[in-house]
């Protein structure tokens, strides 16, 4: 029987700091007269991820159920709450700002998982780059967060999208929240022989 593979995750619950500026009139005393002078004031708005450690733990539990046929288990190595300046000063993370955040939170133990409030574009609400071992996901309901996390971690395990509608909809790697969460035998073999699986080794 093949040995179990255990993949540690460093989870970052990312609060984005979005700055804005406003002009505020101030009364300034100049000699014996009072003048109105406009002053530029900086405001910082926080955009929290809307997810806590308990929610992440449930998502990881669901992910482990999905990957049980591959005998791959994910464990939370660390879960931190982080406050960072929003890339491009936007509260919604896009593909470019994902890479900006990935540079701040690189994969250390094995994989780095970033959780933000909003992520642009992808229907599944996330993105992953196998070569750097980092994935990102946005706030989702409990019913969806586990499958989305499993999908993005699947990418880190070298699993590509399957896109044949009507045939692949049952598969975890079909890019839709309406997809099922099954893995084929070939996908199981690919995941177990991926660079990430090799890097963390096997635990008996």
pLDDT in tens, 154-164: 999 999 999 87
What are the residue boundaries of the structural domains of the chain, listed by start?
A: 5-17+47-200
Residue 54 host element (H or E): helix 53-66
Pick the CATH number of 5-17+47-200 from 3.40.50.450, 3.40.1110.10, 3.40.390.10, 3.30.2420.10: 3.40.390.10
Percent of the chain scoring above 70 in pLDDT: 94
pTM for the predicted model, two decimal places:
0.87
Sign of the CA dihedral 123, 48, 103, 192? negative
The pLDDT assigned to 204 comes to 42
Tens of pLDDT along 6-16? 999 999 999 99
Confidence of residue 1 (pLDDT cuts 50, 70, 90): very low
Name the more confident of 165 and 103: 103
Alpha-carbon span 201 to 153, nearest angstrom: 17
Tens of pLDDT along 43-89? 999 999 999 999 999 999 999 999 999 999 999 999 999 999 999 99
The pLDDT assigned to 170 comes to 87
Q: Is the pLDDT of residue 33 over 50?
A: yes
The pLDDT assigned to 103 comes to 95
Tens of pLDDT along 82-95? 999 999 999 999 98
Kindly give, in sequence order, each residue whose CB lies less than 8 Å from that of residue 56, ignoring residues fewer than 6 positions away: 11, 13, 76, 79, 113, 115
């Amino acid at each position: 029987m093949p040995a179990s593979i255990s993949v540690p995750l460093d989870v970052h619950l990312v609060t984005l700091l979005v700055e804005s500026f406003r002009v505020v009139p101030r009364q300034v005393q100049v000699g014996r007269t009072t003048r109105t002078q406009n002053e530029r004031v900086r405001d910082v708005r926080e955009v929290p991820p809307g997810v806590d450690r308990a929610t992440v733990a449930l998502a990881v539990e669901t992910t482990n159920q999905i990957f049980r046929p591959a005998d791959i288990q994910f464990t939370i190595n660390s879960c931190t709450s982080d406050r960072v300046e929003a890339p491009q000063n936007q509260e919604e993370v896009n593909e470019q700002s994902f890479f900006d955040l990935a540079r701040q939170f690189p994969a250390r133990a094995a994989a780095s998982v970033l959780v933000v409030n909003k992520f642009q574009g992808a229907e599944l609400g996330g993105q992953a780059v196998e070569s750097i071992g980092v994935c990102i996901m946005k706030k989702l309901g409990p019913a969806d967060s586990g499958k989305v996390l499993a999908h993005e971690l699947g990418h880190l395990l070298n699993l590509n999208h399957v896109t044949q509608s009507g045939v692949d909809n049952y598969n975890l790697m079909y890019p839709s929240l309406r997809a099922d969460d099954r893995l084929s035998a070939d996908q199981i073999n690919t995941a177990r022989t991926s660079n990430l699986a090799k890097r963390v080794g096997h635990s008996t």
